[in-house]
Amino acid sequence: MVTVNIGMLHYILDHVYGAFVHRTKISPPFFSRGWGGTKLELLERLISQLFPEVEGQNWPPSLIQPIWRTVWETQNACLREGVFRTPCDEQLLSALPPESHNARVAFLVPKDVPPQKMACVVHLAGTGDHTFERRLRLGGPLLKQNIATMVLESPFYGQRRPMLQRGAKLLCVSDLLLLGRATIEEARSLLYWLDSEAGFGKMGVCGLSMGGVHAAMVGSLHPTPVATLPFLSPHSAVVAFCEGILKHATAWEALREDLAAKEAAMTLEEVRERMRNVLSLTDVTRFPIPKNPNAIIFVAATDDGYIPKHSVLELQKAWPGSEVRWVTGGHVSSFLLHNNEFRKAIVDGLNRLEWKESSV
């Protein structure tokens, strides 16, 4: 009788999917237009400013005022969409493509429950998640437990995608850092709005894959305790682009040519080393521990071809008190099959937070 290693099958599925999506000519590779020139230097400077000088002193989020319209309403729930100008400062705003200047959110809320008795989780986009639908499906069943879902459309994605960009394949390395930096600003402002304007009793932030890295950063930098829920995510973009399957989707030759035109001829190995240095800015282990480490739950896959196990464990080690839960599968299969485990982590993370004192 032949025994099949299911884990290996999941791992192979990731590689087959990766080869189909990233090695065929269906779509261009990531960073086909190089590093991003002066924008990259600006972002390297701005990201190093994220870290607070004094432990625990995070800069306050900007207040936003979304303009809402109702998409649909039932007896039990309401879906609204909101638009707001990104709260990024002028330097960041001028680096962002004009299409990304306005942020969009979908907001799915239970009806007839006072906000102070509700929780809300901000869901951030994974690589290639251009629409609201998948994340609304993840959050929808949580309405019964008085948990609202807020879905942010990422800069460079969906209606915020620059005209020349095909799909999720960002044109420059600087775009990846810009996307992350703007997402952090916007998500923190949304959490602040949910707290100060909408009056929610508890908040959380979650995301899959790239969205999980951003969720971890937002949870780290937010001034008050929030449930921090990174799913299938590495501790740094270095892992995704230099170790995992996405290294086959990166335009290394274009990056080498871009450097050769400005600096000096380099081997491909030196180009990869440069990429590691740049993307080390996204290393979440360098970020402060979130205010309530007990409310951090990572969900990771046992046979993930995109995210190696060591990456998840590095972040758990850097944030003592956090929990890692393992689901059986690869990146792609877990993404499709383990929504119930993601929902359970959201509920459990929120349960580990205190209710906010009502000012009423």
pLDDT tens digits for 1-44?
434 455 565 555 544 544 444 444 556 899 999 999 889 888 88
Q: What pLDDT is recorded for position 58?
A: 60
Of 9-18, 83-92, 147-156, the one with minimum mean pLDDT is: 9-18
Residue 358 inside a domain? The answer is no
Q: How many domains does the chain have?
A: 1
Residue 356 inside a domain? The answer is no
Give the Å distances, CA to CA, from 347 to 59, 103, 121, 225, 342. Answer: 28, 27, 10, 15, 9
Contacts of 344 (CB under 8 A, 6+ apart): none
Give the Å distances, CA to CA, from 122 to 10, 38, 139, 227. Answer: 29, 32, 10, 10
* More confident call, 47 vs 122: 122
Of 47-56, 103-112, 223-232, the one with minimum mean pLDDT is: 47-56
Q: What pLDDT is recorded for position 2?
A: 37
Query: In this model, does residue 353 exceed pLDDT 50?
Result: yes
Across all residues in the chain, what is the average pLDDT? 89
**H/E run at residue 71:** strand 67-73
Q: Where are the alpha helices (DSSP H) in 96-172?
A: 133-139
Decide the pairing of beta strands 77-85 and 67-73. Answer: antiparallel
* More confident call, 13 vs 54: 13
> What is the rounded end-to-end Cα distance, in angstroms, of the chain?
67
**H/E run at residue 260:** helix 252-262
Contacts of 222 (CB under 8 A, 6+ apart): 58, 61, 188, 191, 205, 290, 291
Average pLDDT on 71-87 reads 97
Q: What is the pLDDT of residues 253-307, one digit of tens each?
A: 999 999 988 877 889 999 999 999 999 989 999 999 999 999 999 999 998 888 8
Q: What pLDDT is recorded for position 306?
A: 84
Residue 360 inside a domain? The answer is no
Q: What pLDDT is recorded for position 51?
A: 59
Residue whose token pair is 């305790």:
225
Residue 234 inside a domain? The answer is yes
Contacts of 219 (CB under 8 A, 6+ apart): 205, 226, 227, 228, 290, 296
Residue 355 inside a domain? The answer is no
pLDDT confidence of 64, banded at 50, 70, 90? very high
CATH number at residue 23: 3.40.50.1820
Query: In this model, does residue 86 exceed pLDDT 80?
Result: yes
Residue 254 inside a domain? The answer is yes
Nearest to 100, CA basis, from 112, 85, 110: 85
Question: From CA 251, how far away is CA 131, in angstroms rounded?
Answer: 26
Residue 14 inside a domain? The answer is yes
Q: What is the pLDDT of residues 125-151, one digit of tens each?
A: 998 899 999 999 999 999 999 999 999
Give the domain extent around 333.
4-350
Give the Å distances, CA to CA, from 111 to 75, 108, 147, 149, 151. Answer: 7, 10, 11, 13, 18
pLDDT confidence of 236, banded at 50, 70, 90? very high
Residue 198 inside a domain? The answer is yes
